[in-house]
Structure 1
Amino acid sequence: MNLADARERLRGNGFAVLGRAGMDFYADPPGTPIAAASRFVSHLGGSAANIAVQLVKLGARAQLLSCLSDDAVGRFCLAQLEHYGVGCDHICMAGGGLRTSLAVVETRLENCQSVIYRNGAADFAFSVEDVAGLDFGAEAALIVTGTALAAPGSRAATMAALAKARAAGLVTVIDIDYRPYSWESEDAARDVNLAAARACDLVVGNDVEFGLLAGQGGDGLAMARSLVAKGAAAAIYKMGELGAVTISGDEEFRTGIYATKALKPTGAGDAFMGGFLSGLASGLDLRNAVLRGSAAAAITVSRVGCAPAMPDAAELQSFLASTPEPACS
């Protein structure tokens, strides 16, 4: 699918997001190291859940495709998703000792720690059978996250969902979201993520993640360009504080990041994805959609949590109107 066709399809403003939801505990008050904390606050987390929340906050429709544990933690996540307005019709509740992921997180920039518990992860139980009954007809896009590719069952489900979405004419999107601890080897992670990226119209990742796709000694930016040359509508190569390089069939450009008083680094990528895609869905060109995603990320890292920290449409528009466009480093 070319970029013009992708932008037109995205105007439907309906998204299916496949991947993880979880429960996050933040050491409180902000700035407290986990080891010294006597109090924690809980929020919804998980990359796919966060992306879905940001999309809904910015006026889109979003449903989550996932599994949660059939216990109090899973029900907490389900209640939070419903609170934010994320569609939950295609979330299965898994028993048998499976558990929804937990993250214990610090709200600080220096030496920030995030300790994630993924033993017997319930979201890995999302299966091909769960995909078989999905009707993508009402959706504009399917977004998949790399965490769902790390286990055989959810990997097969993710690839089946991508094939089904492409057959239905949806825009397919991947956030590479590479977490080394979830994979048996770097080579396996490379092969699987590269196959998924080649099945997607929009590929988003950071320099380390595109470097993973390129292989040992490979050039991540060259890999991003290669994916576009071989059929992707666009690739966004994020470089942290150095901004991003965006590549499409028609152009390549760099953008910077918005200055903000950051409290922590977490949530930026998920907010970026929601801001970027909702921008394209609203008719913005590629550059302005990227800047919208960057602004959503800047707001999110300035507050505690991920889902609750993400801006709504009015707040994001006010930020963009009052903040100069960032210069490239």
Structure 2
Amino acid sequence: MTVYNLGSINADHVYAVPHLPAPGETLAATGYSIGLGGKGANQSVAAAKAGARVLHIGAVGPEGLWAREALAGYGVDVSHVARGTEATGHAIINVDPAAENAIVLYSGANQTLGAAAIGAALAGAGPGDTLMLQNETSVQVIAAQMAAAKGMRVIYSAAPFDLGAVKAVLPHVGLLVMNEIEAGMMRDGLGGLPAVDVIVTKGARGAEWISVGAEPLFVPSFKVLPVDTTGAGDCFIGTLAAALDAGLDRAGGMRRAAAAAAIQVTRKGAAQAMPSASEVDAFLQG
């Protein structure tokens, strides 16, 4: 089967800082790097390295060919990654010595996709395939509608969190993924969690899969010494999507996802830090 991903593609500008800046504070960075990022690109790379066939739906700017080529280098099908006139999206990421981060996003080309592009990309999709979505692109609702109508599994990462966007996509979603802060905002906005399967990620404490009419499934995280937590949630979700696509059950998929995220946070960067399926196998066996 195939994992389709309507997802952002960003240039990640990563600054190592002595601490996360306070309002009005100017800090001297102790390090700098640039690489492929964006929640969408990160999830596509994670899923591809986990063994899934991944087709990315997205856009880059005229200077963004390197990002498209980087995705392809990780084994992602980029035949539906457009190259337009709007600048490629980018992120300014500050990372402190404890591996915590603060991120500012510029959407750029990620907001330029239209319904026709989604229809063309999903033309060959059907039941058994998966669509991943996040809140960093345009036309999420249209894509979710199309995918649900085709009988696809729809996995939606509600980040960056926007209650209106979430409410619009929810009727077409099979699995909603949020962190604890986002889940709290969801509960405040809706008076509770929606009646769909929900995964709440809890950072170093693990993740919980909540299903209507079933006992919650909690999977603890693996204990590691983190270097950079940027992209850890994307690693978890992309690996989980690949695991479910391969036929694993909830518990098995969550365990592989937790292992992949544990490996990923011990490396610097986002997309380039995603582990391979063989690395996850070795980690779980060790």
Tell me the equivalent position of 1:247.
Answer: 210
Aligned pair count reads 278
Q: Distance in 2 between matches of 1:115 and 1:204?
A: 19
Amino acid at match of 1:248: S
Residues 81-133 of structure 1 show CA distances to partners (whole Å, capped at 9, x for unaligned) of 111121111111121xx221222334444384444341x61111111232232
Unaligned runs of 5+ residues in structure 2 are 22-26
Amino acid at match of 2:72: E
Q: SS in structure 1 opposite 2:156? A: strand
Amino acid at match of 2:62: D
Cα separation, partners in 2 of 1:108 and 1:298, compared to 1, 3 Å: farther
Tell me the equivalent position of 1:46.
Answer: 38
Deviation at 1:47, TM superposition (A): 0.3
Aligned sequence identity (%): 27
Amino acid at match of 2:53: R
Cα separation, partners in 2 of 1:239 and 1:112, compared to 1, 3 Å: closer
Root-mean-square deviation over aligned CA pairs: 2.4
- Which stretch of structure 1 is more off in the superposition, 15-24 or 245-254? 245-254
Q: Distance in 2 between matches of 1:253 and 1:112?
A: 27
Deviation at 1:251, TM superposition (A): 3.2
Amino acid at match of 2:131: L
Tell me the equivalent position of 1:126.
Answer: 113
Tell me the equivalent position of 1:68.
Answer: 60
Cα separation, partners in 2 of 1:122 and 1:199, compared to 1, 3 Å: same
Q: Distance in 2 between matches of 1:191 and 1:24?
A: 27
Q: Distance in 2 between matches of 1:81 and 1:253?
A: 33
Amino acid at match of 1:227: A
Residues 48-96 of structure 1 show CA distances to partners (whole Å, capped at 9, x for unaligned) of 001000111111111111121112xx1121121111121111111121x
- Which stretch of structure 1 is more off in the superposition, 132-141 or 303-312? 132-141
Are positions 1:197 and 2:170 aligned together?
Answer: yes
Asked if the contact 2:3/2:245 (under 8 Å) is kept, the reply is no
Amino acid at match of 1:88: V
Q: SS in structure 1 opposite 2:273? A: coil
Tell me the equivalent position of 1:164.
Answer: 146
Amino acid at match of 1:141: T
1:90 counterpart (61, 80, 86):
80
Asked if the contact 1:81/1:88 (under 8 Å) is kept, the reply is yes
Tell me the equivalent position of 1:182.
Answer: none
Cα separation, partners in 2 of 1:167 and 1:81, compared to 1, 3 Å: same
Q: TM-score, normalised by structure 1?
A: 0.77
Asked if the contact 1:20/1:49 (under 8 Å) is kept, the reply is yes
Q: SS in structure 2 opposite 1:174? A: strand
Higher strand share: 2
Cα separation, partners in 2 of 1:198 and 1:40, compared to 1, 3 Å: same
Cα separation, partners in 2 of 1:125 and 1:270, compared to 1, 3 Å: same
Tell me the equivalent position of 1:258.
Answer: 222
Asked if the contact 1:271/1:300 (under 8 Å) is kept, the reply is yes
Higher helix share: 1
Unaligned runs of 5+ residues in structure 1 are 1-11, 149-153, 180-188, 229-233, 323-329
Are positions 1:209 and 2:182 aligned together?
Answer: yes
Are positions 1:55 and 2:55 aligned together?
Answer: no
2:253 counterpart (279, 284, 289):
289
Tell me the equivalent position of 2:104.
Answer: 116
Deviation at 1:287, TM superposition (A): 1.3
Q: Distance in 2 between matches of 1:192 and 1:106?
A: 27
Asked if the contact 1:143/1:172 (under 8 Å) is kept, the reply is yes
Q: Distance in 2 between matches of 1:312 and 1:212?
A: 33
Q: TM-score, normalised by structure 2?
A: 0.88
Q: SS in structure 2 opposite 1:110? A: coil
